[in-house]
Amino acid sequence: MALLSLGLNHTTAPVDLRERVAFDADRLPVALRQLSERFQGVRESAILSTCNRTELFLAVDEVSETQVIEWLAEFHAVEPSALAPHIYRFSELKAAQHMMRVAAGLDSLVLGEPQIMGQFKEAMRQARDAHATGPELEQAFSKVLTVAKRIRTETAIGRNPVSVAYAAVTLAGRIFSDLTRCRVVLIGAGETIQLVAEHLAGQGVTAIDVVNRTLANAEPLAASVDGRAWSLDALGDRVAEADIVIASTASPVPVLGKGMVERAQKVRRQKPMFMVDLAVPRDIEPEVGDIDSVYLYSVDDLNAVVEEGLEQRHEAARQAEAFISEALDDWQREIRGYRAVDTIRAVRESSQAICEAELDRAVKLLEAGKPPNEVVTQLSRHLTNKLLHSPTVALRVAAEQGDLSLIEAANRLFDLPDEEASD
């Protein structure tokens, strides 16, 4: 298999360049079609395009990588000289290794992030729909995804939090056995709170209130998780109904004080409440943590959880690399086996032709009245001589030239006893 992987990602290119060479879904079929039309050596193709990477996966005969890069630049109206320094290239097993690392999340901005496997599957589906892929890439993607699934199930690569947003939701899950039954209040509407909302929605939480000083900023976030948006003056009432409160605003002073939480807990009859303050400076007064039924965590507390999670993921990544190495060894054995296929086929076809010719000759002798025993004996002798003529000549020449490797290979090939061992 002539496999080629070519692209750029968050480690090789700045975000503005990555944005310029990203493929949107509408233009992807056009790009896949152009690859096959422009380059005769490209038999099959697939394109993976995300916010952090654009990669071409190609099954090729003979193709100029420089020309492919020039095509990529032309397609996105980028100067080739501006694009080329940021491109990486892998071929054959190195390409397979790279694909496995990407699909398993080992090459992601966030180590072990799970979305990339689904994006890999989607890239293959789009290539299939565009009739751009075939048996070689299908086989490659199948092996890649098998390894990625094994890494997901047999290591802890994605089980531990590596962002404060994820850590906040993870801690909430440790306090409440069923997050889907909890009501959540999110204070703020910035990027961090958006990530928290996504993680909560991913855990099946549906009762989410978004409270923000500017209601217009809270509304789109609330809508994205089927929640409700509130202005800051409704915070007291919302907290009184909340099991979980997570805050991250840009306020210079706390927006949630001890008195408001105490009043809320009287209404709640002291039911446990989990609070996370992700803001610096703080959004929740530290004294709130003195209330017996409230579990308050600061961003520093979560950073410790994140550091622990990162270390665990790095350990899992080491296991994952071992799985990939094992898979590549198996793949390499398969590739070596493929190299013998043409030879085996040729040997069989040649032998079959000899057998058919001798059989036809034997039938004619029988029809001419020759004794069967004589015909069968002659058939056996002729088959042996003709099948072994070329190997015998090659072995004799090898012996005369001192090429013992061919003789040793023949002993293994025909399962002959070792003469030295016999002696």
The yes-or-no verdict on residue 211 having pLDDT over 70 is yes
Q: Write out the two tokens for 383.
A: 């088959």
Q: Write out the two tokens for 357.
A: 């010719």
Confidence of residue 422 (pLDDT cuts 50, 70, 90): very low
- The answer to whether 106 touches 320, Cβ cutoff 8 Å, is yes
- The answer to whether 229 touches 215, Cβ cutoff 8 Å, is yes
The yes-or-no verdict on residue 340 having pLDDT over 80 is no
Confidence of residue 126 (pLDDT cuts 50, 70, 90): very high
| Cβ-based neighbours of 254, under 8 Å, separated by 6 or more | 281, 282, 283, 284, 285
Separation between Cα atoms, residue 347 and residue 266, nearest integer Å: 88
CA distances (Å), origin 236, targets 123, 239, 256:
47, 5, 8
Name all domains of the chain by residue range, CATH numbers in brackets.
3-154 (3.30.460.30), 164-304 (3.40.50.720), 346-422 (no CATH)
Separation between Cα atoms, residue 62 and residue 199, nearest integer Å: 45
Rounded to an integer, the average pLDDT of 137-145 is 94
The structure tokens 């303050």 sit at 277
Q: Note if the bond before 80 is cis, omega within 30 degrees.
A: no
Rounded to an integer, the average pLDDT of 161-177 is 84
Whether 355 is catalytic = no
Confidence of residue 336 (pLDDT cuts 50, 70, 90): confident
Q: Write out the two tokens for 239.
A: 């907290």
Q: Which amino acid is at 211?
A: V
The three-class DSSP label of residue 263 is helix
Which of 86-95, 219-228, 379-388 shows the lowest per-residue confidence on average (mean pLDDT)? 379-388
DSSP state for residue 330 in the 8-state scheme: H
Rounded to an integer, the average pLDDT of 151-172 is 84
Separation between Cα atoms, residue 117 and residue 327, nearest integer Å: 17
Separation between Cα atoms, residue 274 and residue 242, nearest integer Å: 9
Confidence of residue 167 (pLDDT cuts 50, 70, 90): confident
* Kind and range of the H or E run holding 88: strand 88-91
pTM: 0.64
- Chain-centre distance of CA 100, in angstroms? 6
- The answer to whether 57 touches 134, Cβ cutoff 8 Å, is no
Q: What pLDDT shows up at residue 165?
A: 85
Q: What per-residue string of b and e applies to 320-358 under the rule 16 or more CB within 10 Å gives b?
A: bbebbeebbeebeeeeeeeeeeeeeeeeeeeeeebeeeb
User: Of 51, 250, 353, 388, which residue is the catalytic one?
Assistant: 51
The yes-or-no verdict on residue 421 having pLDDT over 50 is no
- The answer to whether 258 touches 239, Cβ cutoff 8 Å, is no
Radius of gyration, alpha carbons of the chain = 34
Confidence of residue 342 (pLDDT cuts 50, 70, 90): confident
Separation between Cα atoms, residue 322 and residue 329, nearest integer Å: 11
| Cβ-based neighbours of 226, under 8 Å, separated by 6 or more | 206, 208
The yes-or-no verdict on residue 63 having pLDDT over 60 is yes
DSSP state for residue 177 in the 8-state scheme: S
Q: Write out the two tokens for 27.
A: 């233009």
**What would the DSSP string read from start to end of 370-414?**
--HHHHHHHHHHHHHHHHHHHHHHHHHHHHHTT-HHHHHHHHHHT
Q: Round the average pLDDT of the chain to a whole number and report it.
A: 91
Separation between Cα atoms, residue 233 and residue 244, nearest integer Å: 19
Q: Which amino acid is at 169?
A: V
Rounded to an integer, the average pLDDT of 73-82 is 96
